[in-house]
Amino acid sequence: MNLIGNIIWLVFGGFVAFIQYMVSGFLLCLTIIGIPFGLQCFKIGFFTLLPFGRQVRDVPGQTGCLATIFNIIWILIGGVWIALTHLFFGLLLTITIIGIPWGRQHFKLMSLSFTPFGKEIF
């Protein structure tokens, strides 16, 4: 079932979102200051590529002062807009019963894209 969900996800916008996260990550990695944020874009992008069958969880012991500061900077720079976009599409997809599985994936992406530092994908 995960394979079918991932294929439909890729066809209907998942691959485009993956490319956008990769380009953003590459552009952020061009500067030294943007490297940690670019790496988070890569993490979110690879999760966006195949989200079915994968989960996001907090890393115990990893949420220190630096991760908190980076999450605050991430939220202020654009993380809130990315999270709101995933919230919008998640709500839009969950209106219909057929779209609920894809809406749930957007909600997972929303939680990861709002505060990506200190989280891992498994």
Strands (E), 21-77: 56-58
Domains of the chain: which residue ranges?
2-121
Q: Are 48 and 15 in contact (CB under 8 A)?
A: no
Count how many Cα atoms sit within 13 Å of the Cα of residue 100 in the half-sphere of its side chain.
3
Q: Mean per-residue pLDDT for 47-56?
A: 96
pLDDT in tens, 71-116: 999 999 999 999 999 999 999 999 999 999 999 999 999 999 999 9
> What is the percent of the chain where pLDDT is above 90?
90
pLDDT score of 65 more than 90: no
Q: Which residue has the higher pLDDT, 1 or 2?
A: 2
